Amino acid sequence: EEGSAKKCGWSTMAGRVSVWASVAGATVAVVASVAGWLAARKRVELLEAQVAALKSSVAGGLAEGYFLNFARYVARDVAKLSGGAPRFYVVVPQGPAHRWELETPITEGLREAVAAGRAAPHALSDPASGTARPRHVHRLVTAASDDVLFDVPTTLQVLHANARDAGNDAATLDAELDRFVARLEHRVDADPDAKPVVRIVRVPADDPVAGLAAALARG
């Protein structure tokens, strides 16, 4: 037909696909179409990888269990405390120093902080009342204050163990911690008792208690 391309074809070079035609403007349109197809294919592959990662993830379930079985009850207990605007900090260790050599890095870190006098065990609710068993958290001990209550979820050690079994895979661990925090934040925001009280703080993995103290000092 009059005005149609007289010559056209395709070639590959350095991993690129080139489609050309002799009519002005046709080359741009065809190449843009191929580029769009390649970009769409990459997006699909990325989504498939993300779906596969979510299917194998246990972080969401751990966050649900932590909130439903522990954090929401702690939030209610903390809200009953007198004075000021009480806060309960959920501390999530994250970063390059994951202490791979330890089987239970969070438990060990808390034990070290208590031994050094930087944290102290604290029981919420009155065990003598017979209405509820006490919920055990920790109290931050600093020169400025000793009334900050916090918990470093030991359930996160499941994520640590999975990543360690995968060859000390820090990227996988950080991705799982992101999913844990996202699910926990969703639960906290949707709960009228927890939202005013619970704060989630992400700190360096080498010393979570020191990380919390530093975060609070920065305001």
190 within 8 A of 81, measured Cβ to Cβ: no
pLDDT for position 124: 81
- What tens digit of pLDDT does each residue of 24-73 get? 455 544 555 666 666 666 666 555 444 444 445 899 999 999 999 999 99
Categorize the per-residue pLDDT at 82 as very low, low, confident or very high, splitting at 50, 70 and 90: low
Compute CA distances 99 → 19, 94, 158, whole Å. Answer: 52, 11, 14
139 within 8 A of 209, measured Cβ to Cβ: no
Categorize the per-residue pLDDT at 179 as very low, low, confident or very high, splitting at 50, 70 and 90: very high
The residue whose two tokens read 């990662």 is 53
β-pair partners for 80: none
Angle among Cα 70, 73, 76 to the nearest 5 degrees reads 150
Q: What percent of the chain has pLDDT over 70?
A: 67
Q: What is the 3-state secondary structure (H, E, C) of the chain?
A: CCCCCCCEEEEEECCEEEEEECCCCHHHHHHHHHHHHHHHHHHHHHHHHHHHHHHHCCHHHHHHHHHHHHHHHHHHHHHCCCCCCCCEEEEEECCCCCCCCCCCHHHHHHHHHHHCCCEEEEEECCHHHCCCCCEEEEEECCCCCCCEEEECCCCHHHHHHHHHHCCCCHHHHHHHHHHHHHHHHHHHHHCCCCCCCEEEEEECCCCHHHHHHHHHHHC
63 within 8 A of 180, measured Cβ to Cβ: yes
Q: Name every residue whose Cβ is closer than 8 Å to that of residue 58 and which is 6 or more positions away in sequence.
A: 158, 159, 162, 176
Cα 138 from Cα 148, distance rounded (Å): 8
Q: Average pLDDT, stretch 132-147?
A: 75
β-pair partners for 199: 89
176 versus 217: the higher-pLDDT residue is: 176
Is the pLDDT score of 114 beyond 70?
yes
β-pair partners for 200: 90
